[in-house]
Chain A
Amino acid sequence: IILELKLYIYVVFTIMQYSTPVFHKAISDSTSVRAALPGKVKIVEVGPRDGLQNEKTIVPTEAKINLIDMLSETGLPVIEATSFVSPKWVPQVRGISRRPGVSYPVLTPQPEGIQAAVKAGASEVAIFGAASELFSKKNINCSVDESLQRFDEVMIAAKEAGVPVRGYVSCVVGCPYEGKVAPEKVAHVMAKRLYSMGCYEISLGDTIGVGTPGSMSEMLLAVSREVPVSALAVHCHDTYGQALANILVALQMGVSVVDSSVAGLGGYVIYMLHGLGIKTVRKTSSKVAQATCKL
């Protein structure tokens, strides 16, 4: 099974001391191209959930568990395991061998999903909102406001269960239906709300990969005004080949967490980070590649 090329990037900004982002400083001397880069980047692996979710062929549970178990051996600190959209996903979370120190978040779009996820042993959950009204309606069948209400309920359930919640915002630079998405919308309507609701981290997704270093930094600038950069995450797709360039710009703005999909651009991300002297996972990316091939 060939996994689709996607790159999910979680950007956790370091606290930005200055009102203008680093990239606006005149880079007349080349040293400042590398000056702002973080020393360490956390890789969040989304292959088993977001990657496999879009495969037409149903991947057997056993294969999914094997993939997650192999990824657990690579040193990746976070592996998104599955999505509790239906009870049939329960066996997957129960079946994996959890490695100490590795987090296995699962998606839970509904409050009921929290209970099922926790029963199955999930210790972290995630919710998905959209910055675009049309995308929200078509993707999760409700308006942006309705989705936020739903998330309120999920947050309450998660708090009761004592599980941390990660928020995703899709269509942060462009929507397949609406076209360009205003950075302020991403910042105010979604990111700020999700954060104030209690999400510990907000993942900003370039869902259709139309972002370029220009639009990415513009969006990140707007969002970082509303949400502390330490709680921000970015999620990129490589549809137009722009993902790595977008990651680089994000890194230059202080990003220190990168999400990627095994057999997507995960290997290339690690290659770039290591080439920049940035520490990532404990083991080499060849392990990640092995996990890919076995699948």
Chain B
Amino acid sequence: TKQNMVKISPVVVFFHLSPFSFIFLQTIKAHEYPDFVKIVEVGPRDGLQNEKEIVPTGVKIQLIDMLSGTGLSVIEATSFVSSKWVPQMSDHTEVLRGIQRAPNVRYPVLTPNMQGFQDAVAAGATEVAVFGSASETFSRKNINCSVDESMLRFKEVITLAKGQHIPVRGYVSCALGCPHEGHIDPSKVAQVAKSLYEMGCYEISLGDTIGVGTPGSMCEMMQTVMKEVPVSALAVHCHDTYGQALPNILTALQMGVRVVDSAVAGLGGCPYAQGSTGNVSTEDVLYMLHGMGIETGVNLAKVVEAGDFICNFLCRKTNSKVAQASSKTL
């Protein structure tokens, strides 16, 4: 086990976890950082999706309910994909019906195709998401069709969604690299992002699916995408496989991004790199943002609690450094 060199005084930890930290840790904010950043919590979907052990429906619901009380305004609840492909998400209807929806919180669900969309709406979905890829090979291996074919599929979903006044979020995976193709041309990312945006997605989340991005490649990719899609409609979805997530997020913030995807406790390993960490942890992102004087509306301590809950169930240590540091004081 990794040990902490310095005994963290409880004062320091609770200082940072308490609401007062918002005030006392207000440091000089550079002009280019936003005042507010929206966190999109993807733990219950993207996080749990990569867990080998099937998590019981009741536990998923409890996790989402705990997250609903943290101040998060968007919690991705589940995915209406075929249970054959993603058995972990086969209880999508039960989860969506079972959660206690908090006011002012949105619960988008993934809907890869028309069938998924219809099932989602029947289950009460009020926001959906579609997943495109900047890599042809990844698209074929992940959703069994080419990028162009996937765009046609999404167009159908988006058209129907628009008709029912259901907002759609678009994801672009492999934005900074692909496990099969390696380097991905930023212009391809921009092209896919533009297509999704023009089709009607209100927000495009650019995903560093295998965490290979660095501030350099993030900057280059963002520059290219921002020529096609306004930065106010962009989000970043960083993986921490090589420890680069926070620097990459910082870079995105410096370029005007105001929406960051993250997962409680850094849930979700990388299916392409055994033993690697996956999603960046919500707790660590919050620590950075709050430390910079950027508001999120989210209570870090409560997110840590939700993270503790799910990690206890999974019998695993949290991937969040902040959560690890705070647990040492108890």
Q: Is B251 an interface residue (CB 8 A)?
A: yes
Cβ–Cβ < 8 Å partners of B222 in chain A: 30
Q: Is A58 an interface residue (CB 8 A)?
A: no
Q: Is A293 an interface residue (CB 8 A)?
A: no
Q: Given that A215-B291, A218-B27, A272-B214 are known contacts, is A27 also in contact with B2, CB under 8 Å in the complex? A: no
Q: Given that A24-B31, A54-B3, A176-B6 are known contacts, is A268 also in contact with B325, CB under 8 Å in the complex? A: no
Q: Is B9 an interface residue (CB 8 A)?
A: yes
Q: Once bound together, how far apart are the Cα atoms of A130 and B285, in whole Å?
A: 28
Q: Is B74 an interface residue (CB 8 A)?
A: no
Q: Once bound together, how far apart are the Cα atoms of A212 and B3, in whole Å?
A: 21
Q: Would you give the shortest CB distance from B95 to chain A, in whole angstroms?
A: 29
Q: Given that A241-B322, A242-B291 are known contacts, is A4 also in contact with B250, CB under 8 Å in the complex? A: no
Q: Given that A215-B27, A276-B214 are known contacts, is A268 also in contact with B4, CB under 8 Å in the complex? A: no
Residue among A23, A28, A30, A211 with max Cβ neighbours from chain B (10 Å): A30
Q: Is A40 an interface residue (CB 8 A)?
A: no
Chain B 309-329, CB within 8 Å of chain A: the 1/0 string?
Answer: 000000000001110010000
Instruction: Pick out which of these stretches binds chain A: B63-71, B136-144, B195-203, B239-247.
Output: B239-247
Q: Is A67 an interface residue (CB 8 A)?
A: no
Q: Would you give the shortest CB distance from A274 to chain B, in whole angstroms?
A: 8
Q: Given that A215-B291, A239-B8 are known contacts, is A2 also in contact with B247, CB under 8 Å in the complex? A: no
Q: Are A23 and B30 in contact (CB under 8 A)?
A: yes
Residue among B213, B222, B251 with max Cβ neighbours from chain A (10 Å): B251
Q: Are A240 and B287 in contact (CB under 8 A)?
A: yes
Q: Are B5 and A33 in contact (CB under 8 A)?
A: no
Q: Is A34 an interface residue (CB 8 A)?
A: yes
Sample 19 A-B pairs with CB under 8 A, ordered by A number: A27-B254, A30-B219, A30-B222, A33-B254, A56-B3, A180-B25, A208-B12, A212-B288, A214-B27, A214-B29, A215-B25, A239-B8, A240-B284, A245-B247, A245-B250, A248-B215, A248-B247, A248-B251, A272-B214
Residues of A within 8 A of B (CB): 2, 4-6, 23-24, 26-28, 30-31, 33-34, 54, 56, 174, 176-177, 179-180, 207-215, 217-218, 221, 237-242, 244-245, 247-249, 265, 268, 271-272, 274-277
In the A-B complex, the 7 residue pairs with the smallest Cβ-Cβ separation, listed nearest first, are: A275-B214, A212-B291, A241-B321, A268-B243, A214-B27, A214-B292, A241-B284
